[in-house]
A and B are shown apart, each in its own frame.
Chain A
Amino acid sequence: GAVVSQHPSWVICKSGTSVKIECRSLDFQATTMFWYRQFPKQSLMLMATSNEGSKATYEQGVEKDKFLINHASLTLSTLTVTSAHPEDSSFYICSAPKGMNQPQHFGDGTRLSIL
């Protein structure tokens, strides 16, 4: 069964709206979670590393003020796309490793469409 849950799976909203995506580890504690974005026919690109109890680490070129990450508990990280615009439309996926040097387990992903 799933070990990482992501919600919602699909969002369609108007330009300018802020959208929050949740990522939960279901049967383990995740001090670190990762947020990715995937555009059509492209590879997953890491956006940021979410660290429980501290600030997220953003990859180069990712605006931290636009993509707000909060990792307030050991089982939940949230990504908020603030004032979303059509170019933010993409497939957003979170992942978490169950332990050190362990493979990543992915959430189901969130397909975001901004009109």
Chain B
Amino acid sequence: RKEVEQDPGPFNVPEGATVAFNCTYSNSASQSFFWYRQDCRKEPKLLMSVYSSGNEDGRFTAQLNRASQYISLLIRDSKLSDSATYLCVVSFSGGYQKVTFGIGTKLQVIP
């Protein structure tokens, strides 16, 4: 089993739609969780950290479920500019920790 699993998609959604991605992780001792966005042939950029209480940043909402070992990302009112690959990132240790990336979920927002 992969340490971090994501559905690679692609998810094709119309503008204005709400879309949700899930990501599961295998190590119950994981400590930190992030969603990154990666555009084609570019470096990943941090979208948001994920906290146990859940957190929201504009149209983006992230949730963490430690019991079931998954995190989610909800995007409301999708924009064309949201088209990208969304990477689930998990850290298994503290300090200057190594992180493990999921394969990413590709989102294509259609006009």
Contacts and interface: CB of A to CB of B under 8 A. Distances in A.
Contacts of B87: 43-44
Interface of A: 6, 31-32, 34, 42-46, 49, 91, 93, 97, 100-101, 103-109, 111
Contact of B96 (A42, A43, A46, A100): A100
Q: Count chain B CB atoms within 10 A of each CB in A32, A97, A101, A103 and give the residue with the most.
A: A103
A89 to B, nearest CB: 14
B45 A106 contact: yes
A100 B34 CA distance: 15
Interface in B51-110: 87, 89, 91, 94-104
Nearest to B46: A103
Contacts of B104: 43
Q: Bin chain B's interface residue count.
A: 20 to 34
B46 A105 contact: yes
A101 B98 CA distance: 10
Nearest to A40: B41
Nearest to A43: B103
B73 to A, nearest CB: 15
Contacts of B30: none
A111 B40 CA distance: 12
A44 B31 CA distance: 20
B96 A107 contact: no
B94 A109 contact: no
A5 to B, nearest CB: 11
